[in-house]
Amino acid sequence: MNEKSSNTNQRKDESVSRRKFLKSTSTAVLGGSILSSLSVPPQGVFADHHDELKLALIGCGGRGSGAADQALATNDQGPVKLVAMADAFRDRLDGSFSNLAQKHGDHVDVPESQKFVGFDAYKKAIALADVIILATPPGFRPIHFEEAVKQGKHVFMEKPVATDAPGVRKVLAAAKVAENKHLKVGVGLQRHHQAGYIETINRLQDGAIGDIIAMRAYWNGNTPWVLKRENLEKQYGRKLTEMEYQMRNWYYFNWICGDHITEQHIHNIDVINWLKDDYPVKANGMGGAEVRVGKDYGEIFDHHCVEFEYADGSRMFSQCRHQVGCWNSVSEHAHGSKGAARIDRYTITGDNTWRFRGKGKNPYQQELDDLFHAIRHNEAYNEAEYGAKSSMTSILGRMATYSGKEVEWDKAIASKISIMPDVFTWDAPMKSLPGPDGMYPTPVPGQSMVV
């Protein structure tokens, strides 16, 4: 047996045991969340419902502030206090602090000495807390996760967890260390905590539509926010260094965002991986920056269309698009020998027609509730592995669209190409720079080397 087929079989064996466990557990609310750490025996209680859990927020933007709010709202399980905050920029930290303090009063106790700013801020904030929220743009996630685990802290980290293969490998390595230290790790792929998704996926895995042959996943929508250099320089009354500009307008730079196939479409790609209980073996695709073109739109594509192939020969057809005025859909679908499913609408049609009619909590709250429950009951809980592998799946798709080549998983995840800056200072040399016309180069399929 060659190495590839042995890897494939190993992946399948892991899938089967994972699925068996899912069917036998009644804690459906956890979805796929505890699956990657089944071998860890519960031990070493960290906190019961009387103990106060100290929280640190790294990356005080929209989602970080939301996750901190939701972590503080787990107070019914036991006391939680936000004690430290870190951000690259003081203005972002201040805005988040005042909103959280207004809403949560005494539960936000972050004196000036525990507010940290700059590239090293994360280390100091991590040191002061028990549970760490990592919600910077994703490029920094592997560095921050590795440090949180090194310092022995529980983590909630947003998706994606990396923007390139070296970053994914760093997260996978730290995930193992976290498991050995019995740390609890949540990843912000919140569909895993959504009752309708959990029930639909369970039914599909139980054979509701027979053999699943094809899957479709979409994030076709409008363009997200953009921060124009000109406006930023007006706002701050000075020239921005290239590092600062790329960090403020982060959505459009690959090293920090991963392109929207990774930053956004990961949610839909991850649902299909969850359904398959596996990850694709290869991908081919096409894409480009066609409509959303301009100095402030950096180097990412405005559309990607990828065909992912799994080891059993089944395919996921994936599209993501940021073009205004086109067909929009954020959805996941499966097609089988006995029917079809609209997964995001929790609907199955065919031999076993069914529709989920239950109610679930807001999944953003549910995922934090589940993490804090695991911490307080010392239950094995580690979502980092599937978070990293679904991040890698979206990076694999990007490698396929940027290169125009068919790219294999094994080569992609072993890639030595780091797209991150070599140093983190405000005047650091950046790998992607604008030309004389202010435009950033975008990848050219057929010519760009990305693996």
Three-class HEC string of 306-373: EEEECCCCCEEEEEEEECCCCCCEEEEEEEECCEEEEHHHCEEEECCCEECCCCCCCHHHHHHHHHHH
387 touches ligand NAD (CB under 6 A): no
59 touches ligand NAD (CB under 6 A): yes
Stretch of residues binding ligand NAD (CB under 6 A), selected from 114-122, 200-208, 313-321, 388-396: 114-122
Tell me the β-bridge partners of 325: none
89 touches ligand NAD (CB under 6 A): yes
- Any residues with CB less than 8 A from the CB of 120 and at least 6 apart, and which? none
Provide the residue type at 322 as one letter: H
> How many chain residues are in contact with ligand NAD, going by CB under 6 A?
26
Distance set, CA 22 to CA 235, 274, 312, 435 (Å): 52, 12, 21, 52
DSSP label of 281: S
As a whole number of angstroms, the distance between CA 161 and CA 101 comes to 28
Instruction: Enter the tokens of residue 90.
Output: 């003081």
193 touches ligand NAD (CB under 6 A): no
**Which residue, 35 or 256, has its beta carbon nearer to ligand NAD?**
256
**Which residue, 115 or 282, has its beta carbon nearer to ligand NAD?**
115
Residue of 30, 110, 132, 140 that binds ligand NAD (CB under 6 A): 140
317 touches ligand NAD (CB under 6 A): no
261 touches ligand NAD (CB under 6 A): no
Does residue 36 contact residue 386 with C-beta atoms inside 8 Å?
Answer: yes
- Any residues with CB less than 8 A from the CB of 237 and at least 6 apart, and which? none
Stretch of residues binding ligand NAD (CB under 6 A), selected from 23-31, 54-62, 331-339, 380-388: 54-62
Residue of 11, 18, 19, 63 that binds ligand NAD (CB under 6 A): 63
Which residue's Cβ has the minimum distance to ligand NAD? 61
Least CB distance from residue 87 to ligand NAD, whole Å? 4
Stretch of residues binding ligand NAD (CB under 6 A), selected from 24-32, 83-91, 315-323, 409-417: 83-91
**Which residue, 122 or 386, has its beta carbon nearer to ligand NAD?**
122
Instruction: Enter the tokens of residue 52.
Output: 């106060």
Count Cβ atoms below 10 Å from residue 232 Cβ, excluding itself. Answer: 17
88 touches ligand NAD (CB under 6 A): yes
134 touches ligand NAD (CB under 6 A): no
Binding positions for ligand NAD, rule: CB under 6 A: 58-64, 86-89, 92, 119, 121-122, 135-138, 140, 158-159, 188, 190, 247, 263
